[in-house]
Amino acid sequence: MKNRFFSIVSMLLLLSSCNLFKEDNYEIPAVTLKGEVVDAQTGESVLTDQGSEGIRVRLTELSWGDNVEHNPDFYCMPDGTFQHTKLFKGNYNITVDGPFIPLVRKDVNNTILSDDSKNMELNGTHEVKMEVHPFLKIEWVGEPVVSNGKISAQIRVTRGINEQFFKDKIEPLGNYSADFFNITDVQFFVSYSSTVGYRARDERWSSKIEYSGRNFDPLLGQVIKLESVGEIPAGRTVFVRGASRINYDTPRGSGTRRWNYNEAKRVDIPQ
């Protein structure tokens, strides 16, 4: 009798373990999505920070119905490209948030007014181009110069969009303020890292210039001189970038005002 009892228990345990194995035997996520964020008007890459102040990518798998939660957010690389190689097959909504007009715009009642995000069926390797309207454009003027352990550089800041375009897109969202369009600061980030930016800056050498109201407006399109602070040790190699932002957070209400950037430049400090 005892042997029969143990045989029944063993069979039940075996069946149970088989069911558990079957439940865990899901397909390994191997779908790849490669993307880039570009200026809708010029086709140029929208340069960004590599971190939570950079361009945020959000994927939502629509296969699960209307109440689905989005996938964990991730961020673009400094050159405005992004990649995810561990996705499950499915139908996805793809959107990005950064220093540009929001792709998905909702009013105070959460009613969608405009939606320029993309829906894609993903089942292999896919590429996507997200076209946006950047707030600002930052350009180098000449090359950085080193003197006595300090780096001097010049940049030019211009608007990516005019004020009327900005107002037409943002005012319908509610609680509009003309102050949103103000340029608040210019940053000069210095770092040992080639991914230099707010998240990879050395505070010993990075500098900033802050502006209130519309005080920056006369400087639009003009050459702005930047200089690092402190003294960078001789013989070192660092990377520098210029950045600027407006008084508008994306997504709205997040409190994160994201910078527009120029490309990083390498600077060798002489011995």
Average pLDDT of adjacent 10-residue blocks, the chain of 271 residues: 48 49 65 98 96 95 79 96 95 97 96 97 96 98 98 98 98 97 98 96 98 98 98 98 98 95 98 91
**Are the beta carbons of 34 and 94 closer than 8 angstroms?**
no
Query: Which tokens in the block code for residue 104?
Result: 């998905």
CA–CA separation, 47 and 69 (whole Å): 28
Answer whether CATH 3.40.50.2000 is correct for domain 31-132. no
**How much is the pLDDT for 20?**
47
* Domain boundaries along the sequence of the chain: 31-132, 136-268
Q: List, in sequence order, every residue forming a beta bridge with 36; answer none if it has no partner.
A: 81, 129
**How much is the pLDDT for 25?**
57
CA–CA separation, 226 and 86 (whole Å): 41
Asked if the domains 31-132 and 136-268 are classified in one and the same CATH topology, the answer is yes
**How much is the pLDDT for 28?**
86
pTM across the whole model? 0.88
CA–CA separation, 220 and 192 (whole Å): 30
**How much is the pLDDT for 122?**
95
**How much is the pLDDT for 67?**
67
SS3 annotation, 176-230: CCHHHHCEEEEEEEEECCCCCCCCCCCCCCCEEEECCCCCCHHHCCCEEEEECCC
CATH architecture of 136-268: Sandwich (2.60)
**Are the beta carbons of 246 and 258 closer than 8 angstroms?**
no
Where are the alpha helices (H) located in the chain, listed in sequence order? 2-24, 163-170
**How much is the pLDDT for 178?**
97
**How much is the pLDDT for 10?**
54
